[in-house]
Amino acid sequence: MNFHWTDIAAALHKAAMPFAAILASSLLTLNAANAGSISKIDARDGLITVSFDGFVEGATTFSLAGPDRIAIDVKGGKAGRGGYAAGMIKSVRQGQYEPNIARIVFDLDRPAVITGGGFTADGKRLKLRLQTVGDNALAKGRKSFVPPAQFRAEPPKNSYSVKVPLGKPQDKVALPKVSGPKDPSRPLVVIDAGHGGHDPGAISPHGSQREKDITLAISRAVRDQLVASGRVRVAMTRNSDKYLVLEERYGIARRLDADLFISIHADAAGNQSAAGATVYTLSEVASDREAAKLAARENRSNIINGVNLGASNQDVSSILIDLTQRETMNVSADFAKLLIREGQRLIKFRTNPHRFASLVVLKAPDTPSVLFESGYLTNKEDVQLLSSRAGQTKVAIGIANAIEAHFARKLAQR
């Protein structure tokens, strides 16, 4: 992930940053203080009321079938938690879909559409009318609502931008080599070295260490450990300094029919004392604010000059985590726990090391996936460990042990 924008701005004054780092910071600056948070959701038959504690830019709604849902994207809004649902609305959840967009999803017990409504005169509430429809009458497309102009939040300004010619992501990246036993019945793990190419990820305070190099070194070390013990097959999404969009990364795992996907990263924090490893699994709603922010930073790997190179933003249904993903998510969570248990002799974890966030790279519906944040490049001890061959090997052995234990357990369960 990258530094927060403000951290990068500060760092730029101190030292000349590599061009790639400047490029990676060409992100929308989000004035979180201006965003209105969702303070209350009340959904009952025929009427949805969403209340805000500040101004938002606007909202769009859309319907989804199988299972029946209605979603509201609140632009310039911050997600809160929970909400009240009754009647035909079975449940409501919310999460930070993009840094500037809060998404609310209502689960319905029958198909319905938004027939009208709007913001109240003070811009603090959005009231929407809901009507049930036949199975085939679901409206396509979105409905938009904006608050009155004087109570509307300003869209964030793009305060830093570098324009560079950029190759389009390849339609289909070549599948990587599979290492290890030739027996295709052996389980296959795909190791994803985070970032790469024009996207350096996090950078240590003086610019000497880049996340993309550390993730590649650790990934190679994990592969070497697994190949040496010969129990599982292993492939890497990248084995050079190249850029892949997030969908290409899990796409490789899916196309290889992998049994497990691990995306390896290293974090950066404003607080230099933040240290230790964290394991993330997928959830629509983040486990804590920090996890939500991390997901926003990591998901930005797809964005250059405000253009999202990933495919999922066009496909509204694919970004919602569906019930079909539940089994996959359970296996992912089991592996996360195992990684912490097996790895802790070799890896220093943070308190509450298993966290949840809406990370694009974990969204393969059928491949158990975790994102491993190996530590903080802004912490002296962590960066020393993660940039040394000995430290990388230590972390890699911890991960490799957990992978082997995971598959041994799966085999025993059969």
Name the minimum Å distance from CB 290 to Zn ion: 14
Q: In angstroms, what CA-CA distances link 177 with 236, 244, 250?
A: 8, 16, 15
- Which distant-in-sequence residues (6+ apart) come within 8 Å of 284 by Cβ? 93, 95, 103, 105, 320, 321, 358
* Nearer of residues 201 and 276 to Zn ion, judged by Cβ: 201
* Nearer of residues 2 and 94 to Zn ion, judged by Cβ: 2
* Nearer of residues 103 and 265 to Zn ion, judged by Cβ: 265
Cβ atoms within 10 Å, residue 288: 12
The C-alpha atoms of residue 285 and residue 80 are separated, in whole angstroms, by: 9
Name the minimum Å distance from CB 194 to Zn ion: 4
Name the minimum Å distance from CB 347 to Zn ion: 17
Bridge partners (DSSP) of residue 75 are 58, 101
- Which distant-in-sequence residues (6+ apart) come within 8 Å of 408 by Cβ? none
Name the minimum Å distance from CB 296 to Zn ion: 12
Name the minimum Å distance from CB 211 to Zn ion: 5
* Nearer of residues 201 and 353 to Zn ion, judged by Cβ: 201
Name the minimum Å distance from CB 202 to Zn ion: 6
- Residue entry with tokens 């930073």: 297
Bridge partners (DSSP) of residue 61 are 72, 143
CB of 355 closer than 8 Å to CB of 282: no
Residue 323 burial by Cβ neighbours in a 10 Å radius (0-12, 13-18, 19+):
exposed
* Nearer of residues 145 and 261 to Zn ion, judged by Cβ: 261
Name the minimum Å distance from CB 356 to Zn ion: 17
Nearest residue (beta carbon) to Zn ion = 265
Q: Which amino acid is at 55?
A: F
* Nearer of residues 1 and 331 to Zn ion, judged by Cβ: 1
* Nearer of residues 233 and 297 to Zn ion, judged by Cβ: 297
Name the minimum Å distance from CB 286 to Zn ion: 16
* Nearer of residues 63 and 332 to Zn ion, judged by Cβ: 332
Name the minimum Å distance from CB 1 to Zn ion: 4
* Nearer of residues 104 and 218 to Zn ion, judged by Cβ: 218
Residues near Zn ion (CB under 5 A): 1, 194, 201, 265
Name the minimum Å distance from CB 362 to Zn ion: 13
Name the minimum Å distance from CB 178 to Zn ion: 25
* Nearer of residues 114 and 264 to Zn ion, judged by Cβ: 264
The C-alpha atoms of residue 74 and residue 40 are separated, in whole angstroms, by: 13
List the structure tokens of 247: 């969908």
* Nearer of residues 78 and 297 to Zn ion, judged by Cβ: 297
